[in-house]
Structure 1
Amino acid sequence: MSCEHLICARCSGPVVEGRCPTCRNARDHMHRHGPPIPPALVLAGLVVLFALALLLQRLY
């Protein structure tokens, strides 16, 4: 769903333009995609998984 065709009930303007605080809040809420995961955290997780795989390979 996008905010391109939504009309604000407060200012009667398109939400995508963000004319009033209500429009801006709705537009920001619509375009939020969840908490961002820092690339460094992803890389650290991959390194840990790789190290565990190597460790398990040596043990068995």
Structure 2
Amino acid sequence: MTCDHLVCANCNGRVSEGRCPVCRANRARMQEQQGPFAALTPATLLALIAALFAVALIARQALA
């Protein structure tokens, strides 16, 4: 989950804007917890799956 769509209960602003200390603290905490795949968008994930499928088909044809 990203902080782009989260709304702060303290200032009613987006957490990504960091309007108040609570927003800034939560934004920093979320950025620390992000894993290696946090930046992948659904479109990128679908492209990677399609590429993996294509490589599997090519490998199958080459070994047959």
Task: After superposition, give the CA deviation of every residue in 1:7-46 in whole Å (9 maximum; x if it has no partner).
Answer: 0000000000000000000000000048xxxxxxxxxxxx
Larger Rg: 1
Distance 1:17 1:33 in 2: 18
Structure 2 residues without counterparts, runs of 5 or longer = 35-64
* Percent of residue pairs bearing the same amino acid type: 53
Q: Partner amino acid for 2:22?
A: T
Matched residues, number: 34
Structure 1 residues without counterparts, runs of 5 or longer = 35-60
Q: TM-score, normalised by structure 2?
A: 0.50
Q: TM-score, normalised by structure 1?
A: 0.53
Computed over aligned residues only, the root mean square deviation of the Cα atoms, in angstroms, reads 1.5
